[in-house]
Amino acid sequence: MTTGIIYWNADPVIVDFGFFAIRYYTLLFGTGIFLASWFAYRIFRENNIPAETFTTLFYYVFFGIVLGARLGHCLFYEPAYFLHHPLEIILPFKIENGTFELTGYRGLASHGGAIGVIIALFLFCRKHPYSMLRLLDYIAIVAPLTAAFIRLGNLMNSEIVGEVTTVPWAFVFVQLDKLPRHPAQLYEAIAYLVLFFINIFLYQKKEKNYPQVFSQG
């Protein structure tokens, strides 16, 4: 029998006020965005991009992430339900059998958020004289940091689990089944953090050879 198995049965809710609950996934998702934005701000400042421009871009990207992630979950994973309950896509509550329940936004898809970022950048660059590809370069440097925190949120939700395994560090996700599995969320979180630090290293070494973020003409 495999030894050293970790029995994982984390409660995804940090605190429940009855009418509103704070969840690990939401907190980690937000923390990842905040930290990535802080690093992005420093990169933009080093490249002489005005703070007010960065603020405007932040709002574009933030809403692109949130809307894209929400729509991605609703349309990719539960289209039948949300097409019959369209208000629940944009409103953090549901009314069922005459009962009002504040649910929050329990469904977010990170790949939907990535699509939302690309659309947001496209819209931003239509109104501002910046190269979309160059902005994508900058955001790609810090994006893995957000992704790492999202995967930690998946761990707290006991979702996106790995294959059944006999490795000594296997996790048994009690809320899912009784089988030892690879902690795929941790693997991905670590990989994203490594990629983030590699990106920062390469940026600091190579930035002087990159073209300017401003479009020509």
Q: For 78, phi and psi rounded to 5 degrees?
A: -135, 50
Residues 110-133 pLDDT 10s: 788 889 999 999 999 999 888 898
- % of the chain surpassing 70 pLDDT: 85
Confidence of residue 55 (pLDDT cuts 50, 70, 90): very high
**What type of residue is 14?**
I
User: Terminal CA-to-CA distance of the chain, rounded, Å?
Assistant: 67
**Is residue 103's pLDDT more than 50?**
yes
Q: What is the largest CA-CA distance in the chain?
A: 67
Mean pLDDT of all residues in 94-110: 67
DSSP secondary-structure letter at 150?
H
Is residue 19 predicted with pLDDT exceeding 50? yes
Look at residue 107 in the predicted model and tell me its pLDDT: 73
Supply the mean pLDDT for the chain: 86
Dihedral angle of Cα 109, 114, 115, 116, to the nearest 10 degrees: 90
Residue 217 confidence (pLDDT): 39
At 128, the amino acid letter reads H
For residue 59, pLDDT beyond 70 = yes
Listed residue (120, 118, 108) closest to 150, CA to CA: 108
Nearest-CA neighbor of 140 among 61, 31, 25, 208?
A: 61
3-state secondary structure of 23: strand
Global pTM value: 0.83
What Rg value do the Cα atoms of the chain yield, rounded?
A: 20
Cβ neighbors of 35 (< 8 A, separation 6 or more) are 145, 146, 149
Contact between 149 and 112 under an 8 Å Cβ cutoff? The reply is no
Q: pLDDT grade, residue 216 (50/70/90)?
A: very low
Residue with tokens 């979309």: 132
pLDDT in tens, 154-194: 999 999 999 999 999 999 999 999 899 999 999 999 999 99
Average pLDDT, integer, range 23-46: 92
Mean pLDDT, range 29-57, rounded to an integer: 92
Number of C-beta neighbours around residue 36 at 10 A: 22
Share of the chain above pLDDT 90, in %: 52
Residue ranges of alpha helices (H) inside the chain are 24-46, 51-76, 79-84, 87-90, 110-127, 132-156, 184-206
- Per residue in 63-91, pLDDT (tens digit) is 999 899 888 888 888 888 788 778 777 77
